[in-house]
Structure 1
Amino acid sequence: MRVYIPSTLRLLGEACQAGEFGPPPLTAYAVTPALREWYAEGDDEELEYAAMAQAARASVGLLAVDPETARRRVVVACEVGAVPPANGTVELGDARLELRVVVPWSAVAAVHVDAAEAATAVGKAAELWDAARNGDDDAIFALDSCEGEDLMWYATQEIPDLLAAEGPRGGLNG
Protein backbone atom coordinates (compact mmCIF):
# COMPACT_ATOMS: atom_id res chain seq x y z
CA MET A 1 0.00 0.00 0.00
CA ARG A 2 1.31 3.47 -0.89
CA VAL A 3 1.40 5.84 2.08
CA TYR A 4 2.53 9.44 2.26
CA ILE A 5 4.50 10.53 5.32
CA PRO A 6 4.61 14.28 6.00
CA SER A 7 8.10 15.48 6.78
CA THR A 8 10.57 18.36 6.62
CA LEU A 9 14.00 18.43 5.02
CA ARG A 10 15.57 18.12 8.48
CA LEU A 11 13.44 15.08 9.38
CA LEU A 12 14.08 13.57 5.95
CA GLY A 13 17.84 13.93 6.53
CA GLU A 14 17.55 12.26 9.95
CA ALA A 15 15.55 9.37 8.47
CA CYS A 16 18.02 8.99 5.62
CA GLN A 17 20.91 8.75 8.09
CA ALA A 18 19.01 6.42 10.44
CA GLY A 19 17.77 4.25 7.59
CA GLU A 20 14.18 4.45 8.82
CA PHE A 21 11.21 6.58 9.77
CA GLY A 22 10.22 6.17 13.39
CA PRO A 23 9.57 5.69 16.18
CA PRO A 24 5.95 4.61 15.88
CA PRO A 25 3.26 5.69 15.87
CA LEU A 26 3.76 7.60 12.61
CA THR A 27 1.09 9.74 11.03
CA ALA A 28 0.75 8.93 7.35
CA TYR A 29 -1.82 9.50 4.62
CA ALA A 30 -3.19 7.03 2.09
CA VAL A 31 -6.23 6.22 0.01
CA THR A 32 -8.43 5.21 2.92
CA PRO A 33 -12.04 4.02 2.69
CA ALA A 34 -13.11 7.43 4.07
CA LEU A 35 -11.20 9.22 1.30
CA ARG A 36 -12.52 6.86 -1.38
CA GLU A 37 -16.10 7.38 -0.19
CA TRP A 38 -15.70 11.18 -0.16
CA TYR A 39 -14.22 11.26 -3.68
CA ALA A 40 -16.55 8.61 -5.10
CA GLU A 41 -16.07 9.93 -8.64
CA GLY A 42 -12.27 10.13 -8.39
CA ASP A 43 -10.00 7.67 -10.12
CA ASP A 44 -7.00 6.11 -8.36
CA GLU A 45 -4.62 8.85 -9.50
CA GLU A 46 -6.90 11.58 -8.15
CA LEU A 47 -7.29 9.74 -4.86
CA GLU A 48 -3.51 9.36 -4.50
CA TYR A 49 -3.10 13.07 -5.21
CA ALA A 50 -5.71 13.94 -2.55
CA ALA A 51 -3.91 11.78 0.03
CA MET A 52 -0.56 13.38 -0.86
CA ALA A 53 -2.12 16.87 -0.59
CA GLN A 54 -3.30 16.07 2.93
CA ALA A 55 0.23 14.93 3.82
CA ALA A 56 1.66 18.15 2.35
CA ARG A 57 -0.69 20.17 4.56
CA ALA A 58 0.48 18.18 7.59
CA SER A 59 4.07 18.98 6.59
CA VAL A 60 3.26 22.67 7.13
CA GLY A 61 2.35 21.78 10.71
CA LEU A 62 5.77 20.14 11.16
CA LEU A 63 7.43 23.28 9.79
CA ALA A 64 5.45 25.39 12.27
CA VAL A 65 7.13 23.63 15.21
CA ASP A 66 10.63 23.72 13.66
CA PRO A 67 11.37 27.30 12.60
CA GLU A 68 15.03 26.49 11.90
CA THR A 69 14.41 24.05 9.05
CA ALA A 70 14.04 25.08 5.41
CA ARG A 71 10.54 26.33 4.61
CA ARG A 72 9.68 23.63 2.10
CA ARG A 73 6.98 21.00 2.44
CA VAL A 74 8.20 17.41 2.18
CA VAL A 75 6.09 14.31 1.54
CA VAL A 76 7.72 10.89 1.51
CA ALA A 77 5.95 8.25 -0.59
CA CYS A 78 6.48 4.76 0.83
CA GLU A 79 5.29 1.26 0.07
CA VAL A 80 4.21 -0.55 3.23
CA GLY A 81 2.38 -3.77 4.03
CA ALA A 82 -1.25 -3.89 5.04
CA VAL A 83 -2.43 -1.01 7.19
CA PRO A 84 -5.10 -1.71 9.81
CA PRO A 85 -8.51 -0.22 9.08
CA ALA A 86 -9.57 3.01 10.77
CA ASN A 87 -11.25 2.65 14.14
CA GLY A 88 -14.45 4.39 13.04
CA THR A 89 -13.54 7.87 14.28
CA VAL A 90 -12.23 9.01 10.89
CA GLU A 91 -14.13 11.80 9.18
CA LEU A 92 -15.39 11.41 5.64
CA GLY A 93 -12.63 12.44 3.21
CA ASP A 94 -9.81 11.91 5.73
CA ALA A 95 -6.74 10.13 4.35
CA ARG A 96 -4.91 10.09 7.71
CA LEU A 97 -3.89 6.88 9.36
CA GLU A 98 -1.50 5.79 12.04
CA LEU A 99 1.39 3.45 11.31
CA ARG A 100 2.39 1.42 14.34
CA VAL A 101 5.64 0.24 12.80
CA VAL A 102 9.00 1.71 11.89
CA VAL A 103 9.14 2.35 8.14
CA PRO A 104 12.51 1.23 6.73
CA TRP A 105 14.31 3.47 4.26
CA SER A 106 14.03 0.66 1.72
CA ALA A 107 10.24 1.30 1.65
CA VAL A 108 10.75 4.83 0.28
CA ALA A 109 9.54 5.05 -3.32
CA ALA A 110 10.05 8.80 -3.88
CA VAL A 111 10.06 12.16 -2.17
CA HIS A 112 7.98 15.21 -3.08
CA VAL A 113 9.44 18.61 -2.10
CA ASP A 114 8.55 22.24 -2.72
CA ALA A 115 10.81 24.21 -5.03
CA ALA A 116 12.99 26.75 -3.23
CA GLU A 117 10.84 29.51 -4.74
CA ALA A 118 7.87 28.32 -2.65
CA ALA A 119 9.67 29.10 0.63
CA THR A 120 7.95 32.46 1.12
CA ALA A 121 4.41 31.10 0.72
CA VAL A 122 5.16 27.96 2.74
CA GLY A 123 6.92 29.97 5.44
CA LYS A 124 3.93 32.29 5.79
CA ALA A 125 1.59 29.29 6.09
CA ALA A 126 3.83 27.72 8.76
CA GLU A 127 3.91 31.01 10.67
CA LEU A 128 0.12 31.12 10.69
CA TRP A 129 -0.46 27.38 11.23
CA ASP A 130 -2.00 27.70 14.70
CA ALA A 131 -4.22 30.60 13.65
CA ALA A 132 -5.41 28.61 10.62
CA ARG A 133 -6.26 25.64 12.82
CA ASN A 134 -8.26 28.04 15.01
CA GLY A 135 -10.30 29.25 12.02
CA ASP A 136 -8.65 32.61 11.25
CA ASP A 137 -9.68 33.44 7.67
CA ASP A 138 -6.42 35.20 6.72
CA ALA A 139 -4.37 32.32 8.08
CA ILE A 140 -6.51 29.77 6.23
CA PHE A 141 -5.99 31.79 3.05
CA ALA A 142 -2.20 31.66 3.59
CA LEU A 143 -2.36 27.89 4.11
CA ASP A 144 -4.52 27.41 1.03
CA SER A 145 -2.14 29.64 -0.98
CA CYS A 146 0.88 27.48 -0.28
CA GLU A 147 -1.10 24.49 -1.50
CA GLY A 148 -1.07 26.12 -4.93
CA GLU A 149 2.67 25.42 -5.10
CA ASP A 150 3.57 22.21 -6.94
CA LEU A 151 5.68 19.60 -5.21
CA MET A 152 8.65 18.38 -7.22
CA TRP A 153 9.38 14.65 -7.47
CA TYR A 154 12.71 13.13 -6.45
CA ALA A 155 13.76 9.54 -7.01
CA THR A 156 15.33 7.79 -4.03
CA GLN A 157 18.83 8.01 -5.52
CA GLU A 158 18.44 11.82 -5.74
CA ILE A 159 17.58 12.33 -2.06
CA PRO A 160 21.17 12.50 -0.71
CA ASP A 161 22.03 15.22 -3.26
CA LEU A 162 18.84 17.13 -2.38
CA LEU A 163 19.72 17.00 1.31
CA ALA A 164 23.36 17.93 0.77
CA ALA A 165 22.33 20.96 -1.28
CA GLU A 166 20.05 22.11 1.53
CA GLY A 167 22.93 22.20 4.03
CA PRO A 168 22.46 22.94 7.73
CA ARG A 169 18.92 24.30 7.36
CA GLY A 170 17.48 20.91 6.71
CA GLY A 171 19.73 18.42 5.02
CA LEU A 172 22.33 15.85 5.97
CA ASN A 173 24.74 18.52 7.15
CA GLY A 174 22.24 19.78 9.73
Structure 2
Amino acid sequence: MRVYIPSTLRLLDEACHAGEFGPQPLTVYAVTPALREWYAEGDDEELEYAAMAQAARASVGLLADDPGTARRRVVVSAEMSAVPPADGAAELGDARLELHVVVPWRAVASVHLDETGAAATVGKAAELWASAQNGDDDALFALDSCEGEDLMWYATQEIPDLLAAEGPRGRL
Protein backbone atom coordinates (compact mmCIF):
# COMPACT_ATOMS: atom_id res chain seq x y z
CA MET A 1 0.00 0.00 0.00
CA ARG A 2 1.23 3.48 -0.83
CA VAL A 3 1.45 5.79 2.17
CA TYR A 4 2.23 9.48 2.23
CA ILE A 5 4.37 10.76 5.09
CA PRO A 6 4.17 14.48 5.91
CA SER A 7 7.64 15.85 6.48
CA THR A 8 9.96 18.85 6.29
CA LEU A 9 13.36 19.18 4.68
CA ARG A 10 14.99 18.83 8.10
CA LEU A 11 13.01 15.66 8.93
CA LEU A 12 13.70 14.26 5.47
CA ASP A 13 17.43 14.81 5.98
CA GLU A 14 17.29 13.11 9.39
CA ALA A 15 15.38 10.13 7.96
CA CYS A 16 17.78 9.83 5.05
CA HIS A 17 20.74 9.68 7.44
CA ALA A 18 18.98 7.39 9.94
CA GLY A 19 17.71 5.04 7.23
CA GLU A 20 14.11 5.22 8.46
CA PHE A 21 11.14 7.39 9.36
CA GLY A 22 10.03 7.19 12.95
CA PRO A 23 9.62 7.14 15.88
CA GLN A 24 6.40 5.27 16.37
CA PRO A 25 3.57 5.99 16.21
CA LEU A 26 3.94 7.68 12.86
CA THR A 27 1.07 9.56 11.24
CA VAL A 28 0.78 8.80 7.54
CA TYR A 29 -1.91 9.26 4.90
CA ALA A 30 -3.26 6.66 2.48
CA VAL A 31 -6.37 5.69 0.56
CA THR A 32 -8.52 4.62 3.50
CA PRO A 33 -12.09 3.30 3.47
CA ALA A 34 -13.22 6.68 4.85
CA LEU A 35 -11.53 8.46 1.92
CA ARG A 36 -13.00 6.02 -0.61
CA GLU A 37 -16.49 6.50 0.80
CA TRP A 38 -16.18 10.29 0.76
CA TYR A 39 -14.78 10.38 -2.78
CA ALA A 40 -16.80 7.48 -4.19
CA GLU A 41 -16.60 8.74 -7.77
CA GLY A 42 -12.82 9.17 -7.71
CA ASP A 43 -10.56 6.70 -9.47
CA ASP A 44 -7.44 5.30 -7.82
CA GLU A 45 -5.23 8.12 -9.09
CA GLU A 46 -7.60 10.79 -7.75
CA LEU A 47 -7.82 9.03 -4.39
CA GLU A 48 -4.02 8.85 -4.14
CA TYR A 49 -3.82 12.56 -4.96
CA ALA A 50 -6.39 13.34 -2.24
CA ALA A 51 -4.39 11.35 0.33
CA MET A 52 -1.18 13.12 -0.70
CA ALA A 53 -2.93 16.50 -0.42
CA GLN A 54 -3.89 15.70 3.17
CA ALA A 55 -0.27 14.78 3.91
CA ALA A 56 0.90 18.05 2.34
CA ARG A 57 -1.50 19.94 4.60
CA ALA A 58 -0.12 18.08 7.63
CA SER A 59 3.38 19.07 6.52
CA VAL A 60 2.41 22.70 7.16
CA GLY A 61 1.72 21.74 10.78
CA LEU A 62 5.21 20.25 11.05
CA LEU A 63 6.64 23.48 9.66
CA ALA A 64 4.69 25.44 12.28
CA ASP A 65 6.37 23.33 14.97
CA ASP A 66 9.85 23.95 13.52
CA PRO A 67 10.30 27.62 12.61
CA GLY A 68 14.00 27.08 11.78
CA THR A 69 13.39 24.81 8.79
CA ALA A 70 12.82 25.88 5.19
CA ARG A 71 9.22 26.85 4.48
CA ARG A 72 8.51 24.15 1.90
CA ARG A 73 6.07 21.29 2.28
CA VAL A 74 7.53 17.81 1.92
CA VAL A 75 5.57 14.62 1.35
CA VAL A 76 7.36 11.29 1.20
CA SER A 77 5.70 8.52 -0.76
CA ALA A 78 6.48 5.01 0.49
CA GLU A 79 5.35 1.48 -0.26
CA MET A 80 4.39 -0.47 2.84
CA SER A 81 3.28 -4.08 2.90
CA ALA A 82 1.70 -4.06 6.34
CA VAL A 83 -0.55 -1.07 6.98
CA PRO A 84 -3.14 -1.34 9.74
CA PRO A 85 -6.77 -0.81 8.85
CA ALA A 86 -8.41 2.37 10.07
CA ASP A 87 -9.92 1.91 13.51
CA GLY A 88 -13.38 3.01 12.40
CA ALA A 89 -13.17 6.33 14.24
CA ALA A 90 -12.09 8.22 11.11
CA GLU A 91 -14.29 10.99 9.80
CA LEU A 92 -15.65 10.75 6.30
CA GLY A 93 -12.87 11.72 3.87
CA ASP A 94 -10.03 11.21 6.36
CA ALA A 95 -6.92 9.58 4.89
CA ARG A 96 -4.95 9.60 8.16
CA LEU A 97 -3.51 6.38 9.59
CA GLU A 98 -1.24 5.72 12.53
CA LEU A 99 1.65 3.33 11.94
CA HIS A 100 3.21 1.52 14.86
CA VAL A 101 6.27 0.56 12.87
CA VAL A 102 9.09 2.62 11.47
CA VAL A 103 9.16 3.14 7.72
CA PRO A 104 12.51 1.96 6.37
CA TRP A 105 14.28 4.20 3.86
CA ARG A 106 14.21 1.36 1.30
CA ALA A 107 10.39 1.70 1.24
CA VAL A 108 10.59 5.29 -0.05
CA ALA A 109 9.33 5.56 -3.62
CA SER A 110 9.62 9.32 -4.15
CA VAL A 111 9.58 12.72 -2.49
CA HIS A 112 7.26 15.60 -3.32
CA LEU A 113 8.50 19.10 -2.46
CA ASP A 114 7.33 22.67 -2.96
CA GLU A 115 9.32 24.83 -5.34
CA THR A 116 11.35 27.53 -3.61
CA GLY A 117 8.87 30.13 -4.90
CA ALA A 118 6.16 28.67 -2.67
CA ALA A 119 8.03 29.58 0.52
CA ALA A 120 6.10 32.80 1.17
CA THR A 121 2.68 31.14 0.78
CA VAL A 122 3.67 28.08 2.82
CA GLY A 123 5.43 30.21 5.44
CA LYS A 124 2.31 32.32 5.96
CA ALA A 125 0.20 29.18 6.38
CA ALA A 126 2.69 27.75 8.90
CA GLU A 127 2.65 31.03 10.82
CA LEU A 128 -1.16 30.85 11.04
CA TRP A 129 -1.40 27.08 11.61
CA ALA A 130 -2.68 27.29 15.20
CA SER A 131 -5.33 29.83 14.25
CA ALA A 132 -6.42 27.64 11.33
CA GLN A 133 -6.85 24.70 13.71
CA ASN A 134 -9.17 26.93 15.74
CA GLY A 135 -11.28 27.74 12.67
CA ASP A 136 -10.07 31.29 11.95
CA ASP A 137 -11.27 32.09 8.41
CA ASP A 138 -8.22 34.13 7.39
CA ALA A 139 -5.88 31.43 8.64
CA LEU A 140 -7.87 28.72 6.85
CA PHE A 141 -7.65 30.79 3.65
CA ALA A 142 -3.86 30.97 4.06
CA LEU A 143 -3.71 27.21 4.58
CA ASP A 144 -5.96 26.55 1.60
CA SER A 145 -3.72 28.81 -0.52
CA CYS A 146 -0.95 26.22 -0.23
CA GLU A 147 -3.03 23.87 -2.34
CA GLY A 148 -2.46 26.21 -5.29
CA GLU A 149 1.27 25.45 -5.11
CA ASP A 150 2.50 22.41 -7.04
CA LEU A 151 4.64 19.79 -5.37
CA MET A 152 7.64 18.79 -7.46
CA TRP A 153 8.45 15.08 -7.80
CA TYR A 154 11.88 13.67 -6.96
CA ALA A 155 13.05 10.10 -7.46
CA THR A 156 14.80 8.40 -4.56
CA GLN A 157 18.21 8.63 -6.21
CA GLU A 158 17.79 12.43 -6.41
CA ILE A 159 17.12 12.91 -2.70
CA PRO A 160 20.76 13.03 -1.44
CA ASP A 161 21.64 15.68 -4.04
CA LEU A 162 18.45 17.60 -3.23
CA LEU A 163 19.30 17.60 0.47
CA ALA A 164 22.90 18.66 -0.20
CA ALA A 165 21.64 21.58 -2.31
CA GLU A 166 19.28 22.68 0.47
CA GLY A 167 22.09 23.03 2.97
CA PRO A 168 22.65 21.55 6.41
CA ARG A 169 19.54 19.89 7.77
CA GLY A 170 17.13 21.91 5.60
CA ARG A 171 17.52 25.12 7.56
CA LEU A 172 16.41 28.50 6.32
Tell me which interval the TM-score lies in, with the shorter structure as reference length: over 0.9
Q: In structure 2, what is the Cα distance between the partners aligned to 1:44 and 1:117?
A: 30
* 1:68 equivalent in alignment to 2:68: yes
The TM-score normalised by the length of structure 1 is 0.97
Structure-1 residue corresponding to 2:7: 7
Other structure's SS at 2:148 match:
coil
Q: In structure 2, what is the Cα distance between the partners aligned to 1:67 and 1:168?
A: 15
Q: Is the 8 A contact 1:34 1:93 kept in 2?
A: yes
Structure-2 residue corresponding to 1:84: 84
Structure-2 residue corresponding to 1:112: 112
Give the alignment of 1:158-173 within 5 angstroms: 158-168=158-168, 170=170
Whichever residue aligns with residue 41 of structure 2, its letter is E
Displacement of 1:82? 2.5
Structure-2 residue corresponding to 1:48: 48
Q: In structure 1, what is the Cα distance between the partners aligned to 2:112 and 2:132?
A: 23
Q: Is the 8 A contact 1:24 1:100 kept in 2?
A: yes
Q: In structure 1, what is the Cα distance between the partners aligned to 2:46 and 2:126?
A: 26
Q: In structure 2, what is the Cα distance between the partners aligned to 1:107 and 1:54?
A: 20
Q: Is the 8 A contact 1:55 1:75 kept in 2?
A: yes
* 1:132 equivalent in alignment to 2:132: yes
Other structure's SS at 1:147 match:
helix
Q: Is the 8 A contact 2:69 2:170 kept in 1?
A: yes
The TM-score normalised by the length of structure 2 is 0.98
Q: Is the 8 A contact 1:68 1:169 kept in 2?
A: no
Q: Is the 8 A contact 2:14 2:169 kept in 1?
A: no
Q: Specify every segment of 5 or more residues in structure 1 that has no aligned partner in the other structure, as ranges.
A: none
Identity over aligned pairs, percent: 84
Alignment length (residue pairs): 172
Q: CA RMSD in A?
A: 1.1
Deviations 1:22-74 (A, max 9, x none): 11110000000000000000000000000000000000000001000000000
Q: In structure 1, what is the Cα distance between the partners aligned to 2:155 and 2:76?
A: 11
Displacement of 1:169? 5.6
Whichever residue aligns with residue 76 of structure 2, its letter is V
